[in-house]
Amino acid sequence: MSDTRVPRRRRFLVCEPRHFAVRYSINPWMHPDTPVDVDLAQEQWHGLISAYRAHGHDVDTVEPVPGLPDMVFAANSAVVVDGRVFGSLFHAPERRPESRHYETWFTSAGYPVHRPRSVCEGEGDLVWTGRFILAGTGFRTTRDAHREAQEVLGHPVIGLTLVDPYFYHLDTALFVLDDDNVAYYPEAFSPGSREVLARLYPDAVLATREDALAFGLNSVSDGRHVFIAPRAEALAARVAEHGYVPVPVDLSELHKAGGGIKCCTQEIR
């Protein structure tokens, strides 16, 4: 079946983890007393970029800024749909300066940026499906930001409530496989949100908690290739059964800050 899946060339925006560290704790994964190997983080990150380029994708970079250790998680900076950029307003004060640097990049590249009035953490919680935007709330991005995003981006926004603090962003609990399907961990969502997802995606690939804790759902798909954490072996097998091709990429050092492949990857559409 994998021969019937067609990849689509993507354009990604990323930021090297040159200043990566865990200096504060804003999610359950972060422990400032845990040592971080910056050289290993950079080596793993470069492996991700090499994998993207080897599969035909374009990659742009934002210059990392000293004192902003989480700037590597580019997905949180904005969501881009049809050339419209809906920026970020981070929940944690420590991350709020990141927005300005990403906004400068987008503006320089010719993309006007809308600054949200409410807390919104970009593609961390706003996931474009090709038809509408799935929008997470419960820990970071607010429902007011969902409404604001719909007005700015001009596409329907479907709100989903996250209930497990380990999956504080939507992109830790769900990722888009292609224009027709997603993979997700049901128990990360409220009962009503699980019903919504089941109605929207009756053939979705369902993940276990072990898959999700391995950052298996913080993945990126081009419609055929799924860039996925190596430890999410069961999820990779299920994805393969559905005709996709898993591409394992190890970002385990970045997991110490609660981020993985998708967190490091902003898509420009």
Query: Could you give the residue numbers annotated as active site?
Result: 169, 263
Q: What is the DSSP letter of 61?
A: E
Residue 35, CA distances (Å) to 188, 210, 230, 254 in order: 28, 24, 22, 12
Residues in Cβ contact with 39 at an 8 Å cutoff, skipping those fewer than 6 apart:
none
Question: How far is it, in rounded angstroms, from Cα 77 to Cα 86?
Answer: 9
230/214 Cα distance (integer angstroms): 8
Residue 108: CA count within 13 A, CB half-sphere? 10
Cβ–Cβ contacts within 10 Å for residue 267, how many?
Answer: 21
Backbone torsion region of residue 12, taken as left when φ is above 0, otherwise alpha when ψ lies between -120 and 50, otherwise beta: beta
